[in-house]
Amino acid sequence: MKPFFQQETLTLSTLSPVHLGCDEHYQPTEYVMEDGNLYALGQRALLAALSPEQLASACGADSLVALRSLLYRQRMQLMPHARHVVACSPALQRHYEQVVDKAAQVESRGRRVQNNLEIQRTAFNPHSQQPIIPGSGVKGAIRTALLDAINAGAALSPPAEKYREVRMPRSRELQQQLLDYERVESDPLRHLKVSDGVSECANDLPRCRVHYAVNRKRKPAKQESRANRGPENLLESLAAGLDNAFSLDWQLSSQGLPGADTLEQLAKVCNRFHLPLLRTELDNLAILGIADSGWLTGLRQLLSEELATALKHGRALLLRLGRYNGADSKTLNGVRHIKIMGGKGEKPTFQPAPKTYWLAADAKTQTTGLLPFGWVLLRRPGCQLPATDAFLKRLAAPLQQLAEQESVRKQQRDAALARQAEERAERAQREAEERAEAQARSAALAAMSEQQRSIHTLQERREAGEGRGQGPGCELANDLRGLMQQAIAGWSPADRQALASAAREIYRHLGIDVKKNKKAKAALKELAGD
C-alpha cells in the first residue's frame, strides 16, 4: 500500500553567500562597527551603557546624526551589550567611520542627500535574532525547477514579446497550463509542504556576514571602468561555507506532483534545472576572471566528482535561493524574456538572459575574489559528502576568527553585566543606609526640645563647613551669640551646658581662641553660670 505521504528532514549548506530578503534593515542608529564586526544594538543596550544625560545630548535638530556620532564615540561601552554580531569587511568599516557623523553629502547641483548606512537584513527569527531559511523560498525554487521540467524548453505561443506589458498575468497563465489547474486551491504544489529552515550549527561559528552586492557586466570588458559596473547595495547574507547549518522538513503527499511522484524524483528534477545554471555561471565567471579562484576551482572539482554523483542520484538537491541571484534562476528555459533597462531616454528591451551579475564583495570597487549569491546544497538523510565538507570548512575559515572574538565579547559582556549588578547592589545598599540615617535623624529631631533642636542646627552648619576660619564676624558666629543670649535669659542649666559645649566646638571651627577673645570667654562663663 502506498504511504499517505513521504517526509524527510533535509540539512542545508551554503555554497555561496545567500541573502533572503525580509524588508528589514539595520538602521545606522542601531549598530556600531569595530574590528571588522557589526554590533547590533537594541534599546536595552543603549539604556544599559549610556547615561540619561548622554542620550539627552543627542536630541536636537540633527538628532539622528548626533545619535550616530554618540554611539560611535561610546562604541567600546556599547559592544558588550550587543544582541548579536555580524562580520563585515575592513573596507566597509572604513566607509562607516568616514560618514557615521556626517549629516549629508552635497551633489553637483547643490542638493543635499543623507549618507545611507542602512543594511538590508536577511530573514531572521525576531526573538533569537538568528537567521532562518523561509520554507516559501525553498518551495519557490522547487516550483521553478518543476515548471521547467514540464515545459521542456518549449516556447510561448503567441510569442512573449507581445505580452511585455502584461508579463505577470502571462506567467500565471503559463503555470496554470503547465500544472493543469485553474484556481489556487487546486494547484498541485499544495501536495508539497516545506518547513522553515532552523539553525543546526553545532559549533559557534557566526552565520552571517555583511557584503556589498555589486553589479558586474557578464561580457568581458576590454578595460575596467565605472561604466562596466552597476549600482551596489549593502546587505546581510548567510555566509558561504555553513556546513549542514540548517535543517528543514519536506513532505510530499501520496498524490505526488506532475513528473515527480517521490521525493527522490523531485530532487532530480531540481538538479536538472539548477546544475546547468551553476555550471554555466562558473564558466562565465572563470572567463571574466572576477570570481574567487579557490572557490571556483574547488566547486568545479566537486561538481565533476563527489557532488556530481550525489546530484545525479537525487541524494542531494542543488537550489538557488533569495535575492540578487539572477533572473535566469527564476525563469524557464524556452520562455525566458528578461526585461533589460536601457540608458537614460532609452526603452527597455527583453532578452533571453540577464546582462549583469550581482556578486558579493567586500568593497564597492572590488574586481576579483567575488562570489555569486544564492547557491545552497540540501542533503537527504544518509547523504555523506566528506570532500564537500572539507570544501565548506575552507570557505568558513574566516568565520573562525569572528567566533573567537565573539567568545571574548560574551565574556566581556558577562563581566560588564556582573559589574553593573554589583554597582546597583552597592548603590541600593548606600541608598538604604542613607534612608535609615535620615529616618533616625528625623526621629531624633522629633524627640528633641526646641532648645536642643536649635543647638543641633548650629552643629549641622559647623559640620557642613560653614564659616570655617572666618572669625567672629561671620553669620554663624552672629547666630551663635544670639542663641547664647537666649540661653542665658531663660534656658535650663542642662540646655545651657549643652550649648556651651557646642559653642566651644564652633569657636574652634571659626578660628576664635577663647583664651584670647575676652567676649567669647565672658559669654561662655556667663552661659555656664559662673
Q: Is the pLDDT of residue 402 over 90?
A: no
pLDDT tens digits, residue range 166-194?
444 578 888 988 998 989 899 999 999 99
Indicate if the pLDDT at residue 104 is higher than 60: no
> Bridge partners of 209?
87, 237
- Asked which of 71-85, 139-153, 248-262 is least confident by mean pLDDT, the reply is 71-85
Q: Model's pTM, two decimal places?
A: 0.76
Greater pLDDT, 342 or 429: 429
- Which residue is it, cell 532552523? 198
Cis peptide before 158 (omega within 30 of 0): yes
Between 152 and 116, name the one with better pLDDT.
Answer: 152
- Top mean pLDDT of 1-10, 148-157, 316-325, 424-433 is at 316-325
| Distance of alpha carbon 35 from alpha carbon 405, whole angstroms | 9
Q: How far apart are CA 330 and CA 205, in angstroms?
A: 31
Share of the chain above pLDDT 70, in %: 91
Number of other residues whose CB lies within 10 A of the CB of residue 481: 14
- Closest by Cα among 28, 98, 20, 92 to 361: 92
The whole-angstrom separation of Cα 137 and Cα 37 is 28
Residue closest to 397 by CA, chosen among 201, 239, 235, 290: 239
Give the tens place of pLDDT for each residue, 425-441. 898 899 999 999 889 88
Res. 142: pLDDT tops 60: yes
pLDDT at residue 227 tops 70: no
Angle at 113 between CA 110 and CA 114, to 5 degrees: 150
CA 489, 491, 494, 497 dihedral sign is negative
Phi, psi of 316 (to 5 degrees): -140, 160
Q: Which residues contact 286 (CB under 8 A, 6 or more apart)?
A: 296
Which of the residue ranges 54-63, 72-81, 135-144 would you say has the lowest mean pLDDT?
A: 54-63
pLDDT band per the 50, 70, 90 thresholds, residue 292: very high
Question: Range with the lowest mean pLDDT among 4-13, 408-417, 489-498?
Answer: 408-417
3-state helix, strand, coil in the chain (%, to 5): 50, 20, 30
CA distances to 104, 459, 528 from 497, rounded to whole Å, are 76, 15, 6
Tell me the average pLDDT of the chain. Answer: 86
Domain spans, the chain: 5-13+129-200+254-394, 450-530
Cα angle, residue 98 at apex, residues 93 and 99 outer, rounded to 5°: 105
Residues in contact with 414: Cβ distance below 8 Å, sequence separation at least 6, in sequence order = none
